[in-house]
Structures are given as structure tokens and as C-alpha cells.
Amino acid sequence: MAIGSVTPSKSPPGVRPALLLTLLVALLVLVCLLSLALGALAVPLDQVVAALTGGDVSSNVENVVWSVRGPRTAIGLTTGVAIGLGGTLMQALTRNPLADPGLLGVSAGASFGIVVSIVAFGISTLYGFIWFALLGAAAASVIVFVLGRMGRSGLTPVKLALAGIAVTSFLGSVTSAMVLMDVEALDRYRFWSAGSLAGLNGDVAVQILPFVVIGAALAFASAPALNSLALGDDVATSLGRNLALVRTQGVIAIMLLTGAAVAAIGPVVFIGLIVPHVARALAQSAGLGPDHRWLLPLSALIAPTLLILADILGRLIAKPTEVQAGVLIAFLGGPFFIMLVRRRKLAEV
Amino acid sequence: MVTKTVEPKSGAHFRLGVVPLSGRLRPRLITVCAALAVATFLVVAWSVSLGDFPITFTEAMRAVVGIGDPGTLLIVQELRLPRAVVGVLVGFSFGLSGAIFQTMTRNPLASPDMIGFTQGAGLAVVAGIVLGWTGSVSTQILGLAGTFVMAVLVYLLAWRRGTTGYRIILVGIGLQWMALSATDYLIARGMQFQAHAALGWLTGNLNGRDWSQALPLAITMAVLVPAALTLGRLTRTLQLGDDVAIGLGTRVQSVRLALLVTGVGLVAFGTAAGGPIAFVALAGPQIAQRLAGTAWPPPLAAGLTGALFVVGSDFAAARLFPMELPVGIVTGVLGAPILLWLLIRANRAGSGG
């Protein structure tokens, strides 16, 4: 154990990390409540709680909380957890701080699936989009994974990253070609691609939940292996890790998590890029190293908080219209991220 | 004096020991560069030979270098050559710029279109289109301004008692996503025809280019390309990490600033002339590195790969499909399989990266 090198802390080990987790959970709960309360019709927090616990509230409030904002918050929560975990996994697997969960071709595949569904099948409802997006995301990530594994050296981080970006560019090109040729398709596609939680009903959350649950289970199970992976391939192998197995597990988890999230709310992968950095910085300040057993839960808490926060702000700043959450995340997250980069001596991934 | 040394496994190298010149001749790198240059020339000649007025391939090759009858020369040099030349110049500047950034940051993903510079240009131009400034300011100027403002922001925000390659990357992605989302927002907000125009520019297009677009880019490149190639040596010490580079006597901060200025200049003028043609700056250097079998992206070969890449894609975009496509769509479709193939057949452990 490294004792001497760590900055002396008055609290006994274990307390500060626990405190950090509690704080983040509390923050997430608060943000969820605010998400139910705020919007075109502001509902006082006590009424929100009453509506949730089946108390006595007007039917209007009950409708707003349960049918409009409830699903929206639930989707924000589910997709946020998914993207946060996906981002942390992606950066761990590629050992690249530039990696976002879309790097596996997931976003490009989902976009491609959606444009195909518009152009070839004339589908225009969000409910119909989702299956095509999921299919596209899954197909793209399987292709990236298979291509990245081919060749004698197997699945190295750089090959995975480059194969991902190559497939992403390929699909991106085909998608823009189709969109450029079909003005109607462009019209529907551009709203999805800005990334929004608005207008989704509860079915969407139910549709994506199984993917997210399985993905999250795989992610948490691979945490110890990711720690060995961070030490380099040779060390990880000598520690008894089966590299191919760890990477396959990680890629499947990313595919399920990010695919589901992107299919539901559009390519808001930036959140998956910044959240791991935030999680690492927080872990460092709590006296923890870059330990994935901590980084994964931290990311899973931070990402939905940010996503829902962006969604709430999007409802409030441009009343009566809304600004898409995807747009606001970059505008909230960008400066915050840059500040973080400037203030901390970030540990390289 | 030229002595030949044979190093185990990695092929023959020639070590030049002439004072004050010293360096290493890599036959494979030189062969790759020559082959790329010849291939680029052939594609240019081929593309100018096709059109409503047919010109034979030999005539086209002669006309490109200025030999032939006045009629052919007029058609080739005034009508068809500018587009090909803009393609070569844009491709070269993107490839070289990508090599600079990837080497400087030691990250194969860190091409200028991954760390914000291109997105700055995109935001400026899309804002121009959607907010209706394009009547008074040309998209070229907007693109240039966008890239430079972005570069200054990245550098200033990454400055904290000096910069590091790592911090430049991270600040770059932060700003990149802000620019991207603002662009998305503008496109979603704009009217349909504006969205269409914006997306058209963002794809990158060489259609209808004339000498007035080629000239500013050519002048810039006349200054920046030699500068970039000279800086190449210093870049290699940066690859060893800042501490080692300082120990070896490299002025890390000034070299990094010089590299940044050179790389941004190349990508800014390239983008202004051809739009943000996707994937060239990222894949060009990576393809060149694997063709030449080097451990880092070779600058000259990266530029030549980029040039061939763009000219070839533009040729394919204009000729191979039932309707004429913008070049930016084809670069992804053509470049991705090439990069994937090179990745897969790399047979040494670690040569994938």
C-alpha cells in the first residue's frame, strides 16, 4: 500500500469516499425532483413528493408529474447512467482520453439506422426510430470489434480506436450522402441529432432498460480487470488476466449501454467523454486512485445528474420553446471540463 | 562520407555522416513518397482528361505541365486544373497538419478535426449561413476566422505555466463539442434550405473551385510546408515526453507553439478553400505511417497521402456515382477501408499502434 506519498488526510480511509458517494446520490435525487417540478408549469416540491407517494394532488399536477416529466426524468436517468458507464469503459479499453462512447461506431451506426428507416421505410415516429437505431448501433459496433480483432496482434487499444473512427467516418459519409439527397430525411434527422429528451414517452425507458441493466452488470463485473489493464497489456497478462476476454466483455457492455442511450435520445456522447475525467478528478480529491471499482459508480452518478440538469435548463431558458439537452450539455459541460483540465494536474489515462 | 549500416530486422538504413548535415535515409520512406507523388500526378492528369471535351491521357499529362496546343491548354488550365490543384493543396495541408498534431500530442486520434480547429471554422460558416451574414462576408473568410479564433482560445485556455500536449487535446475537445453543439443547434433552428446549405458546406466540396481559391492556399503553403518539415526533427524529441525533450535541449514551449501555428495555419487555409473534408487529416498520417513502416507519422509522406486521398476521392465523387457527390462524403467511404486494411494486415505486435 502506498502510504507515505498520499497527502495526509485527517479522516480515516474509507470515510471520504463514502461521503462523496452519498453527496453524489443526494445530488442526483435532488436533480430528479427538480426535473419533475420545473418546466412550463412549475409544481412545488412538496406537491411533487405528494404526487409520487400517491398523496392528494390535483389531477393536473398528477398528470404533469406522472405522464410528462416522469418518463422524461426516467429516460434521462437510464440513458445518463448508460452513457457515463460507456464512456468510462471506452477510455479504459482504448487508454485514450479522447475516446468517447461513440468511438465504437455506436452513434454513427444509430444515425445510419435512423436515416435508413426514414429514407427506405418512411418511418417518422420516435418509437419506430428506436429499433432501427439499436440495430444500427449493434451492427456498427460488432463490425468495429471484429475488424479491430483481425490481424495477428489482436485487439490493441490503438487498433480499436482507429477501427472505430474508420467505421464511424464510413457510416457518417453514407449517412450524410443520404441526408443530402433527401431533404425530408434531413428535416427529421437534424432534430434527433441535436440530442433531446423531449417528447419521449415511458415506453422508451422500458424498451431500453434491459440493455442498460445487462450492460451495467457487465461493466461493474469487469472493473477489477480494467484496473489491471491500465498497467499495460504485459502486466495485465502476467497478473492472470485474459486480455481478449476482458476486452470482449467491455465492448459488449459499451455496445449495449451506448446503443440503447443513443437510440433513445440521440448522439449525446460528449457527456460520456467528460464524465470519466470528472470522476477521476473527484476520485483523486477523495484520496482514491484511478480505481475502476470507484470510477464506474462515480460516472454512473455524475452522468445522469449532468444530463437531467441540462434537460431542466433547456426547458427553462428558452420558454415557451426548448433547447435540446445535447446542445446544453456541451455548453454547460464544455467550460466546466476546460476549467477542470486547467485546475487539476490530470492523471493521464 | 556515406556509410551503410544494417540494423537487425528493420531493413536497411543509410546513415549520412556529412557535417553539417546528418540524418538517416530511409529507402522505404523515399520510395513511398515517390510513389505517392507519381500516383497523385497520374490521378490529376486522368481527372483533367475527362469531361465534355475529351482529351487523351497523354495530352492531359502534357497540358498539366504546360505543354500542348492553346485550346487544350485553355480547357485544362483554366477549367479543369484548378479543382484538381485545390484538391492536391487541401489534401496535402490536411495530411501534413494531421501529422504535426498527432506527433506533437503523441495521440493518433488528435488530428485537427478531432480537437476543435475544424469545428471552429464550421461554426463560423454555419452561423454565417443561418444568420444571413454570407451576403457580406465570404465563407472563406468566415472559415479562416473561425479556425484562428478557435486556435487562439485553445492555446490560451491550455496555457498554465506553459502548455502540454495533453492539455491542448483536452481543452480542444471541450471547445470542439461546444462548437459542434452550437452548430447542431443552428442547423436545427435554421430553415430547411439553410440547413441544407450548411450541411453541404460541412461535408466539404471542391466543385466549382477556381484559381482564386488555390492562390491564397498555395502562398500559405509555400511558407508553412518548409517550416513544418524543418520542425519535424524537433517534433521527434517531443515524442519522448516533455522532460526528456527538455533534457535533450529542445525548447519545448516554443517548439510546441511553432508547431501549433504551423498546423493551424495549414488546416485553416485548407478548410477555407475546400471545406472540412472529413477523415483526411486523421487517416492520411496513419496510412502514411503504415505504408512507410515508421514509428511516427512521416510529415512529407502524410501530406502526399492526403493529397492523393483528396484528389482520388474527388475524382471518384465526380465520376463514379450516378450523381455528382461532394468529396467529403467519398473520403470516408474510400479512406476507411484502406485504413482498416492496413490495420488488419499489420503483423507485428504493436505495429497497429
Whether A342 sits inside 8 A of B203 (CB atoms) is no
Residue A195's pLDDT band (boundaries 50, 70, 90)?
low
CA distance B159 to B163: 5
What DSSP letter does each residue of B261-313 carry, written as one string? Answer: HHHHHHHHHHHHHH---TTHHHHHHHHHHHHHT-SS--HHHHHHHHHHHHHHH
Interface test with A, best of B118, B156, B173 (most A CBs within 10 A): B173
- Check residues A191 and A244 and name the one with the higher pLDDT: A244
pLDDT-based confidence at B19, cuts 50/70/90?
low
User: Confidence band (pLDDT; 50, 70, 90) for A5?
Assistant: very low
Rg (chain B; Cα; Å): 21
The DSSP secondary structure of A84-136, one letter per residue, reads HHHHHHHHHHHT-TT--GGGGSHHHHHHHHHHHHHHHH---SHHHHHHHHHHH
Which residue stretches of chain B are H helix?
27-49, 57-64, 70-73, 81-105, 117-130, 139-158, 165-189, 192-203, 211-238, 242-247, 252-274, 280-292, 299-319, 327-345
What residues of A are in contact with residue B346 (Cβ under 8 Å)?
Answer: 151, 153
Suggest the residue from A90, A100, A162, A268 to mutate for an interface test with chain B (most B CBs closer than 10 A): A162
For residue B352, the model assigns a pLDDT of 39
In the 8-state DSSP scheme, what is residue B320? Answer: T
Instruction: Give me the mean pLDDT over the B141-151 stretch.
Output: 92
Rounded Cα distance, B286 and A271, in Å: 27
Q: How many domains does chain B have?
A: 1
Query: B332 and A173 in contact by Cβ < 8 A?
Result: yes
ipTM of the complex: 0.76
Measured in angstroms, the CA of A233 and the nearest CA of chain B are apart by 11
Residue B12 falls inside a structural domain: no
B255/A contact by beta carbon, under 8 A: no
> Which residue is it, cell 408529474?
A65
Judging contacts by C-beta atoms under 8 Å, the chain A residues touching residue B182 are: 327, 330-331
Q: Residue A212 — very low, low, confident or very high, per pLDDT cuts 50/70/90? A: very high
Please determine, for residue A310, whether its predicted confidence score (pLDDT) is greater than 50: yes
Mean per-residue pLDDT, B157-169: 83
Structure confidence at residue B348 (pLDDT): 47
Q: Is the pLDDT of residue A184 over 80?
A: no
Question: B63-86 burial, b if ≥16 CB within 10 A, otherwise e?
Answer: bbeeebeeebbebbbeebbbbbbb
Query: Is B38 domain-assigned?
Result: no
Strand partners for B283:
none
Whether B95 maps to a domain, the answer reads: yes
The three three-digit cell numbers of residue A301, written as one number? 452518478
Q: Do B177 and A323 touch (CB under 8 A)?
A: no
Probe site for chain A from B177, B202, B203, B331 (most A CB atoms < 10 A): B177
Chain B partners of A97 at a C-beta cutoff of 8 Å?
A: 166, 169-170
Q: Is residue B18 part of a domain?
A: no
Q: Would an 8 Å CB–CB cutoff place B293 in contact with chain A?
A: no
CATH, residue B115: 1.10.3470.10
> Looking at the complex, does the CB of residue B168 fall below 8 Å from at least one CB of chain A?
no
User: Measured between CB atoms, does B105 come within 8 Å of chain A?
Assistant: no
B171 contact partners, CB below 8 Å, separation of at least 6: A338, A341, A342, B154, B157, B158
* pTM metric for this prediction: 0.80
Q: Which residues of B touch A331 (CB under 8 A)?
A: 178, 181-182
Cell numbers 502540454 correspond to B164
The one-letter amino acid code at A279 reads A
**Helix H or strand E segment including B2:** strand B2-6
For residues B79 and B94, give the distance between their C-alpha atoms in angstroms, rounded to a whole number. 24
Residues of B in contact with A191 (CB under 8 A): 188
Strand arrangement of the beta sheet that strand B23-25 belongs to: B2-6, B12-16, B23-25
DSSP state letter for B212: H
Residue % of chain A over a pLDDT of 90: 15
Query: Is a pLDDT exceeding 50 seen at residue A7?
Result: no
The verdict on residue B57 lying in a domain is no
B51 in a domain, yes or no? no
Residue B59 pLDDT class (50, 70, 90 cuts): confident
Closest CA to A205 of A291, A39, A77: A77
Question: Which residue has better confidence, B248 or B311?
Answer: B311
pLDDT of residue B313: 92
Alpha helices in B3-80 (DSSP H): 27-49, 57-64, 70-73
Contacts of A232 in chain B (CB under 8 A): none
Band (pLDDT 50/70/90 cuts) for residue A204 is confident
B342 CA: distance to closest CA in chain A (Å) = 10
Contacts of residue B337, Cβ cutoff 8 Å, sequence gap at least 6: A166, A170
Taking CB atoms and an 8 Å limit, are A152 and B349 in contact across chains?
A: yes
Sign of CA dihedral B37, B39, B42, B44: negative
Contact with chain A for residue B156, Cβ under 8 A: no
Domain that holds residue B288: 84-345
Nearest to B317 by CA among A158, A180, A54, A268: A180
Question: Looking at beta carbons, which residues of chain B come within 8 Å of A153?
Answer: 346-352
CB contact under 8 Å between A342 and B157, yes or no, is: yes
| Residue with more model confidence, B19 or A222 | A222
Write down all domains in chain A, each with its CATH number in brackets: 69-343 (1.10.3470.10)
Are A257 and A101 contacting, i.e. CB atoms less than 8 angstroms apart?
yes
The pLDDT confidence band at residue B100, using thresholds 50, 70 and 90, is very high
The confidence score (pLDDT) of residue B152 equals 93
| Cβ <8 Å between B175 and A187 | no
> Is residue B22 one of the residues assigned to a domain?
no
pLDDT at res. B285: 93
Backbone angles phi, psi at A111, to 5 degrees: -60, -45
Determine the Cα–Cα distance for residues A218 and B61; give it in Å rounded to an integer: 59
Which residues in chain A touch residue B157, judged by CB atoms under 8 angstroms apart? Answer: 338, 342
Q: What does the pLDDT read at residue B350?
A: 43
Calpha distance B205→A68 (Å, rounded)? 44
Residues written for chain B: 353
Would you call A147 and B344 a contact, using CB atoms and an 8 Å cutoff? Answer: yes
CB neighbours of residue B159 within 10 Å: 15
Q: Rounded to an integer, what distance in angstroms lies between the CA atom of residue B210 and that of residue B229?
A: 28
- The CA distance from A47 to A285, in Å, is 37
- Whether B251 has its CB under 8 Å from any CB of chain A: the answer is no
Q: What is the pLDDT of residues A116-174, one digit of tens each?
A: 888 888 776 666 777 888 889 889 988 988 888 787 777 777 788 888 888 988 998 88
Yes or no, beta carbons of B353 and A158 under 8 Å apart? yes
Mutate to test the interface with B, among A100, A165, A183, A265 (most CBs of B within 10 A): A165
A84-125 per-position pLDDT tens digit:
999 999 888 888 777 787 778 888 898 898 888 888 887 766
B2 is a domain residue: no
